[in-house]
Structure formats: C-alpha cells, structure tokens
Amino acid sequence: MLHAAGSGALKHVQVREYVRALVRDAEPGSPAPSERELVQQFGVARMTVRQAMDALVTEGLLERIPGRGTFVARPRRGVGRLTSFTEEMHRVGLTSENQTLHARLGQAGPGVARALGITAGDAVIHWKRLRCSDGEVIAIEDAYLNEVMLPGFLQAPLPASLYDELGARGLRPTWAEDTVTADVASPDEADLLGIAGGTAVLRQTRRALAGDAVVEVSRSCYRADRYTLRVQLGVEG
C-alpha cells in the first residue's frame, strides 16, 4: 500500500501519491476520492488532504468544478500532460514492465552535469533499463538522476515506476522539456529492441523539473513501429 510506504515521508505527499495511484486508470470526469474519507483513512487534518488534492489539481491530474466537486481531469485541449512510461502504457490499456540493464553510481560527464545543473564529476545515478509492454521491448531508457536529491535510491529495490518513486519523495516532475528526433537503431540497440539494425527509431531526450529543481535527465530510444508520440498544441490566451 502506498500510504504505508516511508512512514517518515510527509503526510500530504503520502496522501497525494495514494490518490495519484487510485486515479491513474480512472475514467476522465469520474469523481475524485472524497476528502472526508481520506481524512479518516489517513488520520490526518483536512488541511493536509486539501494540500495533497491542490497539488494534483495544479498538476492537471484532477480538476475542480465549482459547485460540483473534484474530478479526474478530462484532457484539456492544447495542453500536453507530463506522463511517465507506465502512465502512457496504462492509458492505452497496455502493461508496463522494466528490465534493468544496470543501475549504478557514476560521475556526471559535462553534458549530463550541465543539464542537471550540477558540476562535472559530481555523483550521478545512471539507471539503464528496457521498457517493455505486454512482454515486448518498446524502448531503451537511460535516466540520470542527481544522487544528492535521492539518498538511498540504489540501496533499495528499484521501483517499477521512477516517477512514482520520485512522487513518494516529493519530487514528482511537474515540468519537462522533451526533444524528439528520428534516427535508425545502432546494431546494439537493434539487438536490445529485437529489431533489425537500421530500422527506424525515435530518440527522445528529457529534462524534468520538480518545482525549480532538475530531477531527471534522460535519453530514450523507442521502436518507431511500436510507439507514437502525441503532442497537443494550443495558443495561449
């Protein structure tokens, strides 16, 4: 149970991540869990539950409709939502699995250091994994994380979802910049993805922030025949 995890974690973070997990696959427009029940379930003040729900409203996961209550947000036109691989797969009814190739502490090279806002040579966690769905490899993902922000990350069992784990630590990304380019798979990538060398892939780099802090820099290599990137655009005002 999420709310039992990390008893030292801030209460509002525990409530928030519990609600996030509950509404993850919920029908858009369905009612959010009731604040009164959450108060009872967690034995916390109403303010604490309010704080958790406010964060999910700000993130765009829940929406408040004046006079009616709080609901699972319907997709807003013109606004892309910052989602994890796990969420993307679940949204279209697929499973999400990980196969870790390695997870280790290293020193940040100049590029990763610049992107993470740390100094080259600083400690960085490098988590390289295959992202799979329904038993098939969809992507190779290299995530670089600032070790100082994630004490004990490598000592504990690796999470099924990086963003859930960041969320449990109060560091769920709230903003990200992605760059996507078309390319062909290298022989090594083709082996890992189970495709022929030279087949088309999509390369995505991401720099993700939680508030003002950069929490993740990643590189993903997706099978172009299995993954479609959907971007919603709008005009402000």
Taking the complex as a whole, how short is the minimal distance between the CB of residue 32 and ligand GLP, in angstroms? 21
The enclosing H or E element of 99 equals strand 97-107
> Rg of the chain over CA atoms, in angstroms?
19
What lies within 8 Å, CB to CB, of 227 at 6+ separation is 138, 139, 202
Taking the complex as a whole, how short is the minimal distance between the CB of residue 107 and ligand GLP, in angstroms? 20
Taking the complex as a whole, how short is the minimal distance between the CB of residue 89 and ligand GLP, in angstroms? 8
Give the three-state DSSP class for 209.
strand
Taking the complex as a whole, how short is the minimal distance between the CB of residue 216 and ligand GLP, in angstroms? 6
Q: 25 is written with which tokens?
A: 């696959």
Among 116, 173, 101, which Cα is nearest to 148's?
A: 116
The residues facing 136 across adjacent strands are 133
Please identify, using beta-carbon distances, which residue of 71 and 164 lies nearer to ligand GLP.
164
| End-to-end CA separation in angstroms for the chain | 42
Taking the complex as a whole, how short is the minimal distance between the CB of residue 99 and ligand GLP, in angstroms? 12
Please identify, using beta-carbon distances, which residue of 12 and 206 lies nearer to ligand GLP.
206
Taking the complex as a whole, how short is the minimal distance between the CB of residue 159 and ligand GLP, in angstroms? 7
Q: What angle do CA 32, 36, 38 make, to 5 degrees?
A: 70
Q: 21 is written with which tokens?
A: 């997990």
Sheet order of strands, 213-223 included: 97-107, 123-133, 136-146, 213-223, 200-210, 175-184
Please identify, using beta-carbon distances, which residue of 12 and 129 lies nearer to ligand GLP.
129
Give the three-state DSSP class for 138.
strand
Taking the complex as a whole, how short is the minimal distance between the CB of residue 136 and ligand GLP, in angstroms? 16
Please identify, using beta-carbon distances, which residue of 71 and 227 lies nearer to ligand GLP.
227
3-state helix, strand, coil in the chain (%, to 5): 30, 30, 40
Positions in the binding site for ligand GLP (CB under 6 A): 84-86, 96, 141, 143, 161-164, 204, 206, 216, 218, 220
